[in-house]
Structure 1
Amino acid sequence: MAAALVPLAWRTRSLPSPLGAVGRAGAVAEVKLRDDQYTLDHMRAFGMYNYLHLDSWSQDNVYYVDQSGRVMNLSVTLDTALQKPREVFRLPADLTACDNRLCASIYFPSSTWVTLSDGTGRLYLIKTGKRGDSASEKWEIVFNEELGSPFIVAHSVSFVKSGTHSVAVLLLRVEKDELDTKGSGFHVTLEWVTIAEMSKEGDHQYEICRKRVLQGKSVPHYAAIEPNGDGLMILSYKPFKSVQEEEKKLAENDDAKTANEKKDPLYYWQQTEDDVTITIHVPQDITKDDIKVHFSPENICVTLKDQPPLMEGRLHSSVDHESCTWIIKENKSLEISLIKKNEGLRWPELIIGDTNGELIMDPSQATEISECLMHLTSEEMNPNPEKENPPCNAQELEECDAFLEDSATLCRFDGDTLQVTHVINLGSNQYLFSVVVDPREMPCFCLRHDVDALLWQPHPDQPENMWEHIATFNALGYVQASKQDKKFMACAPDYSYSALCECLRRVFIYRQPAPLSTVLYNRKEGRQVGQVAKQLVATLEANDPILGFQATNERLFVLTTKTLFLIKVNTGN
Structure 2
Amino acid sequence: MDESGDRAITDDSMADSRVEQVDAASLLQQKRCCEVELPVRRDLLDAQFQGYKLSLEELPSLRIATLAGAVGSEWGASQAQELTSLQHFRAFAVINGLSIDPWSAAAGDHFAVYYFNQQRQLVCHFVPSQPQASLPANSAGQIVGSFSDNATVESTATDAVPLCGSVQFADAQHCVVTNGRGRLFVHTGARHTQTGQEWTWGPVVDYVCPESCLLQTARTVVSGGAVSIHLVVLYVGKQASKDASRFVTVLEWIVLQAVGSSWKTQRVRRLEGTSAPHYIAVEPPGDGLSLVGEGIFKIVFDSQRVVTDTATPADEVMEEQPPVDHAGLGKRSCFNTGLAAPDDMPSSFGPDDLEECDSFADETYNAAWMRFDGSTEAVSHRADLSGRQLLFTATVSPDQMPVMCIRYDVDGLVYQPIPPEAGSEKVPWEHIATFNALGYVVASKQEKKFAVCSTALRFACVCDGNRNVYLYRNEVPVGEQSVLKNRKTGQTISHVARQHVLTLNDAELPIVGLAATQQAVVILKKNALTLIYL
CA contact (8 A) 1:224 1:443 kept: yes
Structure with larger RCO (C-alpha < 8 A, sep 6+): 2
Asked if structure 1 preserves the Cα contact closer than 8 Å seen for 2:364 and 2:386, the reply is no
SS in 1 for 2:143: strand
Task: Give a deviation string over 1:247-296, Cα, whole Å, max 9, x none.
Answer: 7439x69xxxxxxxxx8x665xxxxxxxxxxxxxxxxxxxxxxxxxxxxx
Does the 8 A contact of 1:180 with 1:186 survive in 2? no
Name which of 106, 112, 119 aligns with 1:61: 112
- Label 1:193 to 1:84 Cα distance change in 2 as closer, same or farther (>3 A): same
Q: CA deviation at 1:445?
A: 0.8
- Distance apart, 1:93 and its partner CA: 3.7
Instruction: Specify which of 179, 182, 202 is matched with residue 142 of structure 1.
Output: 202
| Alignment correspondent of 2:264 | 207
CA gap 1:421/1:206 in 2 versus in 1, 3 angstroms:
same
Deviation, 1:144, is 2.4
Whichever residue aligns with residue 484 of structure 2, its letter is L
Match of 1:548 in 2: 513
Mapped to 1, the partners of 2:61 and 2:200 lie a distance apart of 35
The residue aligned with 2:62 is 11
> Residue 149 and residue 476 in structure 1: after superposition, are their counterparts in 2 closer, same or farther (change >3 A)?
same
Instruction: Give the distance between the partners of 1:562 and 1:136, measured in 2 at CA.
Output: 21
Distance, in Å, in 1 between the alignment partners of 2:505 and 2:408 is 35
Aligned to 2:237: 175
> Partner of 1:186 in structure 2?
247
How do 1:155-166 and structure 2 match up within 5 A? 155-166=217-228
Q: How does 1:46-445 map to 2 (within 5 A)?
A: 46-59=92-105, 60-77=111-128, 79-80=130-131, 81=135, 83-91=139-147, 93-94=149-150, 100-127=161-188, 129-134=189-194, 139-145=199-205, 146-177=208-239, 179=241, 185-197=246-258, 206-244=263-301, 248-249=308-309, 267=316, 350=317, 357=318, 359-364=320-325, 368=329, 371-373=332-334, 403-445=362-404
Aligned equivalent of 1:345: none
Whether the 8 Å CA contact 1:216–1:238 is kept in 2: the answer is yes
The superposition leaves residues 170-199 of structure 1 with CA deviations (integer Å, 9 ceiling, x where unpaired) of: 0101122364859x932110000101235x
Structure 2 CA distance, aligned partners of 1:46 and 1:359? 38
Residue 484 of structure 1 aligns with an amino acid whose one-letter code is: Q
1:58 alignment partner, SS class: helix
Q: How far apart are residue 223 of structure 1 and its match?
A: 0.9
Q: What displacement does 1:566 show? A: 1.2
Distance (whole Å) between structure 1 residues aligned to residue 250 and residue 400 of structure 2: 24
| Amino acid aligned to 1:159 | V
Q: Does 1:2 align with 2:52?
A: yes
Aligned equivalent of 2:439:
477
Which whole-Å CA distance do the structure 2 matches of 1:553 and 1:506 have between them?
21
2:529 to 564, 568, 572: 564
In the aligned structure 1, how far is the partner of 2:68 from the partner of 2:522?
18
Deviation at 1:71, TM superposition (A): 1.1
Calculate the TM-score normalised by the size of structure 1.
0.70
Structure 1 residues 243 and 394 mapped into 2: Cα distance closer, same or farther (>3 Å)?
same
Residue type matched to 1:362 in 2?
A: P
Compared with structure 1, are the counterparts of its residues 206 and 395 closer, same or farther at alpha carbon in structure 2 (3 Å cutoff)?
A: closer
- Give SS of 1:361's match: coil
2:20 maps to none
2:466 equivalent in structure 1: 504
Note the C-alpha offset of 1:496. Answer: 0.7
C-alpha change, 1:370 and 1:458, in structure 2 (3 Å) is: farther
SS in 2 for 1:534: strand
**Does residue 1:493 correspond to 2:470, yes or no?**
no
RMSD: 3.2
Q: CA 1:369 to 1:215, structure 2 compared with 1: closer, same or farther past 3 Å?
A: farther
CA distance in 2, matches of 1:406, 1:491: 24
Distance 1:70 1:138, change over 3 A: closer
Unaligned runs of 5+ in 2: 1-50, 106-110, 339-352
Distance 1:435 1:366 in 2: 49
Between the aligned partners of 1:40 and 1:459, the Cα distance in structure 2 is 32
Which letter does structure 2 place at the counterpart of 1:229?
A: G
Q: Which amino acid in 1 is paired with 2:249?
A: V
- Which residue of structure 2 lines up, in the alignment, with residue 530 of structure 1? 494
Indicate whether 1:457 and 2:503 are aligned.
Answer: no
Q: 1:400-455: CA deviations, max 9, x gaps?
A: x9945323110100112210000111232211110000000001111000000011
Secondary structure of the residue aligned to 1:3 is: strand
Letter in 2 for 1:165: V
Change (3 A) 1:398 1:484: farther
CA distance in 2, matches of 1:212, 1:369: 47
Q: Which has the larger radius of gyration?
A: 1
Aligned counterpart in structure 2 of residue 33 of structure 1, from 75, 79, 82: 79
- Mapped partners of 1:466, 1:370: distance in 2: 43
Task: Call closer, same or farther: CA 1:538–1:113 in 2, change over 3 Å.
Answer: same
Q: Report what 1:307 is aligned to.
A: none
In the alignment, the residues of structure 2 paired with residue 116 and residue 179 of structure 1 have an alpha-carbon distance, to the nearest angstrom, of 32
Deviation at 1:505, TM superposition (A): 0.8
SS at match of 2:220: strand
User: Shift of residue 522 of structure 1?
Assistant: 1.9
| Cα displacement (A) at 1:69 | 2.2
The TM-score, its normalising length taken from structure 2, stands at 0.75
Matched position secondary structure for 2:69: coil
SS of 2:53's equivalent? coil
In structure 1, the gaps of 5 or more residues are 16-24, 254-262, 268-349, 351-356, 378-392
Shift of 1:88: 1.5
Residue 526 of structure 1 aligns to a residue in which SS?
coil
The structure with the largest strand share of the pair is 1
CA deviation map 1:198-224 (0-9, x unaligned): 5xxxx6863211000000001101011
Q: Is this contact kept in 2: 1:119–1:150, CA < 8 A? A: yes
8 Å Cα contact 1:130-1:137 kept in structure 2? no
Matching residue's letter, 1:133 = T
Summarize the Cα distance change of 1:43–1:175 in structure 2 as closer, same or farther, 3 Å threshold: same
Return the offset for 1:91. 2.1
